[in-house]
Structure 1
């Protein structure tokens, strides 16, 4: 779609160039059109890149992230990633992004900048043995979906600490501490024979 729009714009400029160059106003319009073309192409490219980088396949495209992708298929009811993925609690197309994006005003931008840091380390840095989050995992990422869910509200374990969880005084990960079961990946304990997100 973007390629077609750019092709139409270039065709219009080329077709109208003879007419436009005949007058001063025409030359200014042509100059403005030529100046806008790179901006339109760049904006379209950024939009496509932002959309594509929110996809699970993009996140798992680096070899160091493969075990995390495979952990979505581990047969372990206490692994957060596996449970959310296997029970379709989140979109499979944007699994990583759904859980690792802050649901705040600039959460998307923050996630993209953190993603750029990962890409930088992948190509130019030293890849750590086990990647770590840039900051502690915030409860509001969990509560964005679970905060008003019946299963969360009625769970007896949440009754006395709900205010602490909502304020962030106590981390959800205090109890739900297994995000990705990498030991299950090593043991090849999968619920499907060939894990491929």
Structure 2
């Protein structure tokens, strides 16, 4: 995916440059100002080209900022990236990553995006807040979520999954979990094992 977005980021300026060059040549020749078709082309260029370029730029930005590497580019996130490799069966991030329950290319985004109508938009706005704090604010010693972690981020994948349904406590408290009255983190309270990172307790394939 990163290759495609990088390619798109390269192609967009080239396409724009070609369109501008053709427009300048046509304008110099009088085509754009002396014919009805030229007026339509000029109107389309002024009205449609900015929209297309803006839309493509947003698409590239959204795709690129959803990648795991994008999150890991900030040094304060480095311990959280390393926690994906901790050898701890109770650490949610490590288990999901190592068992490939989530996409490795979008690991952070998969679990930290609210799966609701405006989930993506909300995640991007929160991401802008992260960027602002990274460059202009004071980074706290231990970053915290802006709000309690919502159950539906977990249930989005687990709600109808057999391993989830066959666990007795899940069946017993399913209604509470679905309504949010009981947090998944009540029992699964270790998301990132930062102590394991400090101890260099990493899983290695044999």
The alignment status of 1:62 with 2:96, answered yes or no, reads: no
The alignment status of 1:142 with 2:154, answered yes or no, reads: yes
Where in structure 1 do 4 or more consecutive aligned residues deviate above 6 Å?
Answer: none
Find the counterpart in structure 1 of residue 140 from structure 2.
128
2:86 aligned to which of 74, 77, 90 = 74
Find the counterpart in structure 2 of residue 33 from structure 1.
45
Give 1:36 shift. 3.7
The alignment status of 1:115 with 2:127, answered yes or no, reads: yes
The alignment status of 1:16 with 2:34, answered yes or no, reads: no
Give 1:33 shift. 1.2
Aligned-partner SS, 1:71: helix
Which structure 2 residue ranges, 5 or more long, are not aligned?
A: 1-10
How large is the RMSD of aligned CA atoms in angstroms? Answer: 1.8
Give 1:8 shift. 4.0
Find the counterpart in structure 2 of residue 159 from structure 1.
171
Aligned-partner SS, 1:21: helix
1:5 aligned to which of 6, 10, 15 = 15
The alignment status of 1:44 with 2:56, answered yes or no, reads: yes
TM-score normalised by length of structure 2: 0.87
TM-score normalised by length of structure 1: 0.91
Which structure 1 residue ranges, 5 or more long, are not aligned?
A: none
Moved more, 156-165 or 49-58: 156-165
The alignment status of 1:184 with 2:200, answered yes or no, reads: no
Q: Distance between the aligned counterparts of 1:192 and 1:64, measured in 2?
A: 24
Cα deviation code 1:90-144 (max 9, x no counterpart): 0000000000001100100000001000001001100011111111100000000
Give 1:28 shift. 5.9
Q: Distance between the aligned counterparts of 2:37 and 2:56, measured in 1?
A: 28
Q: Distance between the aligned counterparts of 2:99 and 2:37, measured in 1?
A: 61
Number of matched residues?
Answer: 193
Cα deviation code 1:148-169 (max 9, x no counterpart): 0001101012121111111110
Higher relative contact order (CA 8 A, sep 6+): 1
Q: Distance between the aligned counterparts of 1:38 and 1:163, measured in 2?
A: 49
